[in-house]
Amino acid sequence: MMSSFQAKLESNTFVITAEVSPPKGIDCSDFLSISRSLAAMVDAINVTDNQGANMRISPLAAAALLVREGIEPIYQVTCRDRNRLALQSDLLGAAALGVTNILALTGDFISFGDHPQGKPVFDLDSVQLLNVIAGLNNGKDMNGHQLTGSTTFFCGAAASPDAEPLELTLIKIEKKAAAGAGFLQTQAIFDIPRLGRFREAVSHLPVKVIAGILVLKSAGMARYINKNIPGLTIPDHIIDELADAADPAAKGLEIACRFAKEAAPLCNGIHIMAMGREELIPQIIAALKP
């Protein structure tokens, strides 16, 4: 059965997704209450996979909890912690539990997180993972063995519109599209012309682009992200804007609203990363309304 998120994207409906982190522990009450509060205004909720290589409850379990609540998750799967058996096994489990959307990722390197002594796996890369999922959708495991029933996953991939050299980034994105990625969720956008350039560069591919919007709280937080979160770069002029603001938290929201509004016409949707301030998401969505 086609996911409702997929149906919306394929009918060119503008979508809104938001990221919610599964808890570090077993108490999922906050995770669920935030998700419930967002459910009515977003089209799907991204469930992160031990993001930043910080150990948390399994995204498979968290995604399944959302399904149970009638909320549509985008189950993020990284290649960092699981080999090809574990990835396929988890994906089959996710399908059986009603998870329909996957974001296939390489994963932040293990040295960034809270278990830097661990062994990074990377048995597959994100392109290979997408190919494996295409196989599962076709009723076969990656070695061609028949499965009892096929998955019906709608897959997406990550994209970094700012990453240089763009030509090299695009080669990988083309591979991801060829492997079946139907949507791209981008890293946080702080440069609209670059987003436009990226959008143009992928216009020949059958992928929908969902622009990442990051909600910042302060200049300090922005600097922390630049230092500690790979793939995320907040430009100096944004940091200055936060530093100069009388109320940096309000300024962060204003910046998020501004980029959401400017990115929206260039994209098929926006993806909000509120980083713990999910209560602000309705205001960002409201800013999109004409």
Residues numbered 115 to 144 that lie near another protein (CB under 8 A) are 120, 122-128, 131-132, 142
Number of residues that bind another protein (CB under 8 A): 39
Q: Does 210 bind another protein (CB under 8 A)?
A: no
Task: Report residue 221 as tokens.
Answer: 């937080």
The CB density around residue 149, as the number of other CB atoms within 10 Å, is 11
Query: In the set 39, 92, 147, 163, which binds another protein (CB under 8 A)?
Result: 163
Q: Does 46 bind another protein (CB under 8 A)?
A: no
Q: Pattern 59-98, binding to another protein, x per CB under 8 A?
A: --------------------xx---x--------------
Distance CA 130, CA 35 (A): 27
Q: Does 48 bind another protein (CB under 8 A)?
A: no
Q: Does 235 bind another protein (CB under 8 A)?
A: no
Q: Residue 14 or residue 122: which is nearer to another protein going by CB?
A: 122
**Residues near 53 by beta carbon (within 8 Å), at least 6 away in sequence:** 80, 107, 108, 109, 110, 111, 112, 113, 114, 115, 116
Closest contact distance (angstroms) between CB of 270 and another protein is 18
Distance CA 220, CA 166 (A): 29
Q: Does 21 bind another protein (CB under 8 A)?
A: no
> Residue written as tokens 């139907």?
182
Q: For residues 275 and 252, is the Cβ–Cβ distance under 8 A?
A: no
Distance CA 134, CA 179 (A): 7
Closest contact distance (angstroms) between CB of 106 and another protein is 4
Candidates 7-15, 24-32, 106-114, 148-156; binding stretch for another protein (CB under 8 A): 106-114
Q: Does 273 bind another protein (CB under 8 A)?
A: no
Assign 187 to helix, strand or coil: strand
Distance CA 62, CA 143 (A): 29
SS (HEC) of 19-74: EECCCCCCCCHHHHHHHHHHHCCCCEEEECCCHHHCCCCCHHHHHHHHHHCCCCEE
The CB density around residue 105, as the number of other CB atoms within 10 Å, is 21
Q: Classify residue 203 by burial, with Cβ atoms within 10 Å: 0-12, 13-18, 19+.
A: exposed
Closest contact distance (angstroms) between CB of 188 and another protein is 11
Q: Does 247 bind another protein (CB under 8 A)?
A: no
Candidates 90-98, 103-111, 234-242, 268-276; binding stretch for another protein (CB under 8 A): 103-111
Closest contact distance (angstroms) between CB of 277 and another protein is 23
Query: In the set 32, 45, 159, 274, which binds another protein (CB under 8 A)?
Result: 159
Q: Classify residue 183 by burial, with Cβ atoms within 10 Å: 0-12, 13-18, 19+.
A: buried
Q: Residue 120 or residue 220: which is nearer to another protein going by CB?
A: 120
Q: Pattern 165-184, binding to another protein, x per CB under 8 A?
A: x-xxx-xx-xx--xx-----
Q: Does 164 bind another protein (CB under 8 A)?
A: yes
CA neighbor of 130 nearest in space, from 62, 178, 170, 164: 178
Q: Which residues pair with 73 in a beta bridge?
A: 45
Q: Which residues bind another protein (CB under 8 A)?
A: 79-80, 84, 105-109, 111, 120, 122-128, 131-132, 142, 158-160, 163-165, 167-169, 171-172, 174-175, 178-179, 187, 230-231, 233
